[in-house]
Structures are given as structure tokens and as C-alpha cells.
Chain A
């Protein structure tokens, strides 16, 4: 027997352990020299998107000229008359566009305006976690974004839809050198996607069934569900029926 050689279980285990160790060492060495490789970035991005959407009202920039003076008007009502002007790709393009009348959506946020902002001395008018019905309805409405005065695309064309998602990602805090996929939805506490104004509140790519996906949730209320209380009622409409979840997936 000894003269013919054997493969023992010890040998197989040794080879197996060596292969695992070698794979780990290879993976570790490669990742150690690759800069900025981390899975934390998608988690932080999911958190940031959820924060912007729930705590911010968005930003609409209007540039104009009043006599000899150039004007810049910053407003939160992007959902009212917001357009996308391709001559302004980012804030640093604003000086170049001065002198021409331009309006563009610079950031999307869903937070409602405070019901008592007229009494506030603070400049901040957004109410965290209280979402504005119109903002919600338009944010999740792909047809609204497909309008020629905005991104001007065919929502039924998958490639154009993907391009739109890339553009939209810049408006919700996912812009940068890396391209992220996202899925954003508003769900009730039973897990069902809610509808606002006939629009199903889900936008983005389908969430993959495997792989590294970051998820962050915020508890929110849409103003239409509590409007009676906010406009002078008892003010205690926060309950299991009115509270919803804003769910953000990033990968």
C-alpha cells in the first residue's frame, strides 16, 4: 500500500485549508491596496438619501436679471414650477448662467412646510418626517419627470428610463463619481406600497435578490392623512394608521 501512494483525509483537509487561506490572503492583499473600497458607502448613501427626502423640502433655483442686477432666487417649491435646465448641470454652473432666465431643480426633498412658519423667526421652514402630498405625488410620478420641460424622455423605453434614474440620483444626494442603483418607496406599516393621488409611491430599479444592498428607513406621515389636525384640530393624528415608512435601498 505504502509503495502505491494514498490520499488521506488529512491531505484533503490540508489542501482545502490552504486553498481557503490563499484565497483570503489574495482577496485581502488586493483590497488593502485598492483605495476607498468599502461597503460602508452604500449604507451611508442610503442614510443620506432617506435624510434628504424626509427632512428637506428640496431646492429650486431661478436665475434672472432685474435691470442691471442679476438675481438668484432659491425656493423650496420644486414641485410647483420646477423644471430641469440642462445648461445648469450643477451649482458651480450658476454663475455662467446668470443673465439668462433659468429655472432648475437643484435638489428634491419631500418635507412639508411648517404649519406655523409665519410665527417662526427661523429661516428653516421644513418639518422633518411630515411629507407634502404634492411633492410625494410628483416625485414618484415618472410621467411628471418625463415632461419635455424636465428630463424629456420616454418612460416606456427601458434605456431612457435608466438614464432618467441616473439623472434623478443626482437630485436626491447620490451624485458623485460612483454610480448607485436605488429603489425608494413609501409603505404603510403592513408593508404595502401606498398610493398618493393615484400614483404608486415606488421609484427606481427593482431590488436585487442577492448581493450587498443597503437599506434605511424613516418613519413619516403624509400631510393629507393628518390635515384636519394640522389645520386646527386637536393635533393628535399621529397613530398606527397615519404613520408610514419611507424605505430607501441603495446598491
Chain B
């Protein structure tokens, strides 16, 4: 026979309660109430995660496609650099940008450039794709060639 808790508030001096179980149950109830009162401690930031990722991709492509007065864009300059074998500049520029996004947003990003449907260049912090990634693409007509630029983003 387990120990009895006599004279508790449950029984007004007449009933009994099994001590260990009562303590456990009380602790669970107390913990639930405390959790419910304090939840959530941090703001809930919604569930539009996929849309947010997609917009990161769109925004990156928009920014890389801003035209200057000579009708050049960052993308066309990068394509020229890559075509001329000067990948180093593009590597460091995009990788630093990708690294900053990883630090600030916990987002892994990757850029892929295709020429005539074959992969010409890729770079970024995202190494392995998974089904939760979002992507965006843009077709660029430059110097008579058709390039497809894809940006892929994924939460860590």
C-alpha cells in the first residue's frame, strides 16, 4: 500500500491521495498552466516561409537585373566576366552576398547560370538541394546568346 497524503485540500481531512502520483499530476498541471500563460515568449512570425524564400530569390534576381544608363546589369557584367574566364570576381562577390544572407536570415542561396540549357556556372552557400527549397529564374538575352539564371534559396 503506497503512502497516503492525509488531510490534503482534496479531502478535507477525510479522503486520501496517493502521494507520488498526486505530486506528478500536480506538477504536470502546474507546468501546463505556466507554459500556457507564458507561450509564446517570442513573436510568432507566421507561416509564409515558402513565399518569403521565393521573394528572396525574386529580389536577388531583380537587384542583379537593375539596368544602368548604359543598359548593363550586374548579371550581364557577371556573364561577361565568366565568359572571359574571370570567375574569381563573380565567385567572391556572390559568395560574400550569400554568406551575409546566411548569417542574417539563416538562408542558404545558390546561383546557377545556364547557357543553351547546359550549366555554365554555379556558386553560393547552398550545396545540397532539398524539397523545401524555393527558386526563381530569369532568361537573359546577352550578346546574341540565351542565358538562364536561377537563384535557389533554402532555410538552414
Contact = CB atoms under 8 A, between A and B. Distances in A.
The B interface, classified by DSSP as helix, strand, loop or mixed, is helix
Given A5-B11, A5-B15, A230 B40 contact: no
A131 B105 CA distance: 21
A84 to B, nearest CB: 31
B77 A7 contact: no
Interface stretch (B46-54, B113-121, B124-132, B140-148): B46-54
A218 B93 contact: no
Interface string A125-167: 0011110000000000000000000000000000000000000
B11 A128 contact: no
Interface residues of B, number: 55
Contacts, number: 164
B114 to A, nearest CB: 20
Interface of A: 1, 4-9, 12-13, 16, 39, 42-43, 46-47, 54, 114-116, 119, 127-130, 189-191, 207-221, 226, 229-240, 243, 245, 249, 251
Contact of A217 (B41, B43, B105): B105
A216 B68 contact: no
Residue in B14, B17, B42, B56 with the greatest tally of chain A CB atoms within 10 Å: B17
The 10 A-B residue pairs with the shortest CB-CB distance, nearest first, are: A9-B21, A213-B43, A235-B72, A219-B59, A12-B25, A189-B100, A235-B68, A236-B77, A240-B100, A43-B46
Interface in B95-135: 96-97, 99-101, 103-105
A209 B16 contact: no
A210 B72 CA distance: 46
Contacts of B83: none
Given A12-B22, A115-B67, A243-B97, A238 B74 contact: yes
B66 A230 contact: yes
B16 A4 contact: yes
A116 B68 CA distance: 7
A166 B40 CA distance: 27
B91 interface: no
Determine which residue in B18, B68, B70 has the highest number of CB atoms from chain A within 10 A of its CB, and name it.
B68
Main secondary structure of the interface of A (DSSP, over half): mixed
A232 B69 contact: yes
Contacts of B17: 6-8
Contacts of B76: 235
B43 A212 contact: yes
A214 B103 CA distance: 21
Contacts of A189: 100-101, 103-104
Contacts of A16: 25, 28-29, 32
Given A47-B48, A238-B74, A8 B68 contact: no
Nearest to B32: A16
Given A114-B67, A232-B69, A209 B100 contact: no
A249 B100 CA distance: 22
B52 A216 contact: yes
B137 interface: no
